[in-house]
A and B are shown apart, each in its own frame.
Chain A
Amino acid sequence: MLADHLDPMAASLFSLLVIASLLLAFVMLGSRWLKDYMLAFAAQSWLIGILSALIGYYGGYRELYWVAGFTVLFRGIVLPWLILRILRRLNTARELHEVLSTSTSLVIGAAAVIFALVVAMRITKDLGITSNVVVLALTVMFSMKLIGFLMLTLRHEAISQILGILVLENGIFLGTQILVPGMPLMIELVLLFDLLVAVACFGVLVRYLLTHIGSTSSRDLRRLTG
């Protein structure tokens, strides 16, 4: 495992990028403006791209440079651009109705991080891994997944739900990059295009919702029609 014998420079850079991505997930959780979510997501994707390039550098995986390039290109530029296009068409710039207030959701997010830390400590203890970077990567992976789920459940706008899925996916991607680097390039590419297709489908869905219902909030979708 790469994370078992890292030199101190690599360890500090990895933990910096990992913690900064977690911080950006919290920015998304704490903000109400759809555009802010998108910018934070783009920044997070850039950080993850840099992280993959660094793992490629320190671990000697040549193909991770490609993965980093594709991550920055698709997650950092193309996906935010697509979402921006959808946002321009919408007439809502922010979440109007919230299930929970911003501060409450931040507190729940913090509790999720603590839960993730406990789980990660337990797993690494059972596996006999002592590396702190692994604990950190596991914690951030779990907590970003939980934060993604929180965003999916607490937000009504279709756009925030897409971004919730994307955060969830970013978390998994970040975790796998550190824990099992050197996945086949094909799988990474499939994941990236999967996301692209998901966002494109959401774009179509949003357009459909706007023409037929006039709003993209899931609050208005309560009735099943055949």
Chain B
Amino acid sequence: MLRDVAAQIAQVLAVLLLSPLLQGFILRYEERAQRSCGPSLLQPYRDLRKLFRKQLVVPATASWVFWTAPVVAFTAMLTVPILIPVLTNYPLPLSDMGDILGGGLILTLGTFFVNLAALDSGSAYGGIGASRTVMITILAEPTLILVFVGITLMAHAMLPFVVNHLLVAEPAIYWGPTHLFLVAAFFVLLLAETDRLPIHSSTHIEVYMIEEARVLEYSGPLLALLKWSGMMKQFILYTIFCHVLLLPWGLSKLGTAMGLAGAVLAILIKFGVVACAVIGVETAQSRLRFYRYQEPLAAAFMLAVLAIVANQIR
């Protein structure tokens, strides 16, 4: 029991501490793929440390929402790792608080609060950022729900652990059309939700600014919390993609210290592979116009529908 609690804490700590490394890996090797030098792998950690030491400036128009949003976003990202298989392939204490839909709800709660905070300070950029984020969410959410429905129909359960076990145990289901089309649909969602091209919302160019416009009013430690929660969201989505869909192997079965260390090592390899695929897409793909954002998401929607149809005629 005590070991399970320790493993649960290790899950949350793994997400907390490894997420800047993932961001650093993607930023560095994307630059490398494009024949430039790239920042250090540890640059996101240094950025966070710098931001935590900076002075906090709060706009005069800000209300309590401005203060709570980063904390809520950060807390939400600390809660989701409890629900999903990050290091162990069996449920740990409190893992049964919510299923896949519950995890999705908490992930979206953070986004929702940051949107509120963007509107709260009353700046023009905040409004633009919030409205654009909501538009992308409206386009992405039906696909996400359909992917969840597809997973549920495939595994007859809404718990991520059950899906993980099923995919490891049954290669016929793993290589079936249902599962692989769900993987393809979720990959598009992963690109859209983690600020990668073809949408790439966290750029500093004003015309394209989405993610960046929402947090434009923040500075110092609060900005650090927001950035960190963004990186953790990316890490959590990679975890769901790898451990529930694409690469369900290499998790700790007993929860021993050795097993957890092995799982961390496996995470480094697996996420490296997925990050390389993401870097490939980022290098090959150019940014879409704002009014063409629905195209990749519509394709993902179609793939999810196809997966469900393939599951029904199996």
Q: Is the CB of B176 within 8 A of A12?
A: yes
Taking the closest CB of chain A, its distance from the CB of B118, in whole angstroms, is 34
Taking the closest CB of chain A, its distance from the CB of B159, in whole angstroms, is 23
Residues on B with C-beta less than 8 A from A19 are: 177, 181, 306, 310
Q: How far is the CA of A11 from the CA of B177 in the complex (A)?
A: 10
**Chain A interface residue count, Cβ-Cβ cutoff 8 angstroms:** 14
Within A1-49, which residues are at the interface with B (CB < 8 Å)? 7-9, 11-13, 15-16, 19-20, 23
Q: Is the CB of A12 within 8 A of B173?
A: yes
Q: Is the CB of B313 within 8 A of A9?
A: no
Residues on A with C-beta less than 8 A from B314 are: 12, 15, 132
Q: Mark A127-147, 1 if CB is under 8 A from B, else 0.
A: 000001001100000000000
Within B162-221, which residues are at the interface with A (CB < 8 Å)? 170-173, 175-177, 180-181
Residues on A with C-beta less than 8 A from B180 are: 16
Partner of B177, one of A7, A8, A12, A135: A12
Taking the closest CB of chain B, its distance from the CB of A105, in whole angstroms, is 15
Q: Is the CB of A9 within 8 A of B306?
A: no
The residue in chain B whose Cβ has the minimal distance to the Cβ of A7 is: B172
Residues on B with C-beta less than 8 A from A23 are: 306
Q: Is the CB of B306 within 8 A of A12?
A: no
Residues on B with C-beta less than 8 A from A15 are: 176-177, 310, 314
Q: Is the CB of B172 within 8 A of A11?
A: yes
Q: Is the CB of B176 within 8 A of A16?
A: yes
The residue in chain B whose Cβ has the minimal distance to the Cβ of A15 is: B177
A-B contact count (CB 8 A): 33
Taking the closest CB of chain A, its distance from the CB of B12, in whole angstroms, is 36
Q: How far is the CA of A19 from the CA of B180 in the complex (A)?
A: 11
The residue in chain A whose Cβ has the minimal distance to the Cβ of B309 is: A19
Q: Is the CB of B172 within 8 A of A16?
A: no
Partner of B172, one of A8, A135, A136: A8
Q: How far is the CA of A12 from the CA of B175 in the complex (A)?
A: 6
Residues on B with C-beta less than 8 A from A132 are: 313-314
Taking the closest CB of chain A, its distance from the CB of B176, in whole angstroms, is 3
Taking the closest CB of chain A, its distance from the CB of B246, in whole angstroms, is 15
Residues on A with C-beta less than 8 A from B170 are: 8
Q: How far is the CA of A136 from the CA of B176 in the complex (A)?
A: 14
Centre residue among B180, B306, B310 by max chain A CB count within 10 A: B310
Q: Is the CB of A9 within 8 A of B172?
A: yes
Taking the closest CB of chain B, its distance from the CB of A116, in whole angstroms, is 14
The residue in chain A whose Cβ has the minimal distance to the Cβ of B180 is: A16
Q: How far is the CA of A97 from the CA of B130 in the complex (A)?
A: 40
Residues on A with C-beta less than 8 A from B175 are: 9, 12-13, 16
Q: How far is the CA of A11 from the CA of B170 in the complex (A)?
A: 13
Q: Mark B301-314, 1 if CB is under 8 A from A, else 0.
A: 00000100010011
21 contacts between A and B (CB under 8 A): A7-B172, A8-B170, A8-B172, A9-B171, A9-B172, A11-B172, A12-B176, A13-B175, A13-B176, A15-B176, A15-B177, A15-B310, A16-B175, A16-B176, A16-B177, A16-B180, A19-B177, A20-B177, A132-B314, A135-B313, A136-B313
Q: A15-B310, A16-B177 are in contact. List 6 more A-B contacts (CB 8 A).
A: A9-B175, A13-B175, A16-B175, A16-B176, A19-B306, A20-B177
Which residues of A line the B interface, CB within 8 A? Answer: 7-9, 11-13, 15-16, 19-20, 23, 132, 135-136
